[in-house]
């Protein structure tokens, strides 16, 4: 899993993936405290994430093993919106 912050939306007039209602977001990878890495990824949003939300991303084969993405050319999906991260019994991120 990868952590990232949603920074934008990707729109396209056409694509070959054909996922009805598919929404793609631009995500800036970050660490567990939400510090941005300036390393971007485009991910299919499966959880209706909003701008500036910290999200969990699944990549590669795992991204193609959902009911929505089976046999689709998808390399990254957003699988969760993060509410809180506790590291060594200390909250390092809270929504």
Per-residue pLDDT tens over the stretch 11-28: 877 766 677 777 899 999
**Quick one: pLDDT at residue 16?**
66
Output the pTM of the full model.
0.88
Average of per-residue pLDDT across 21-48: 94
CATH of the domain at 83: 2.40.50.220
Binned at pLDDT 50, 70 and 90, residue 69 comes out as confident
Q: What's the alpha-carbon Rg for the chain, to the nearest Å?
A: 14
Count the domains in the chain: 1
Share above pLDDT 70 across residues of the chain, in percent, rounded to a whole number: 96
Share of the chain above pLDDT 90, in %: 67
Return the exposure string of 41-67: e unless at least 16 CB atoms fall within 10 Å of the residue's CB, then b: bebbbbeebeeebbbbbbeeeebbeee
Using the CB atoms, write b or e for 7-27: b if 16+ within 10 Å: eeeeeeeeeeeeeeebebbbb
């Amino acid at each position: 899993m990868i952590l990232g912050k949603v920074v934008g939306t990707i729109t396209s007039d056409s694509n070959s993936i054909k996922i009805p209602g598919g929404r793609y977001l631009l995500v800036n990878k970050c660490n567990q405290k939400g510090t941005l890495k300036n390393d971007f990824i485009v991910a299919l949003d499966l959880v209706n994430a909003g701008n500036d939300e910290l999200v969990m991303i699944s990549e590669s084969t795992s991204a193609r093993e959902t009911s929505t993405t089976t046999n689709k050319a998808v390399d990254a999906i957003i699988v969760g919106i993060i509410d809180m991260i506790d590291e060594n019994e200390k909250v390092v991120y809270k929504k």
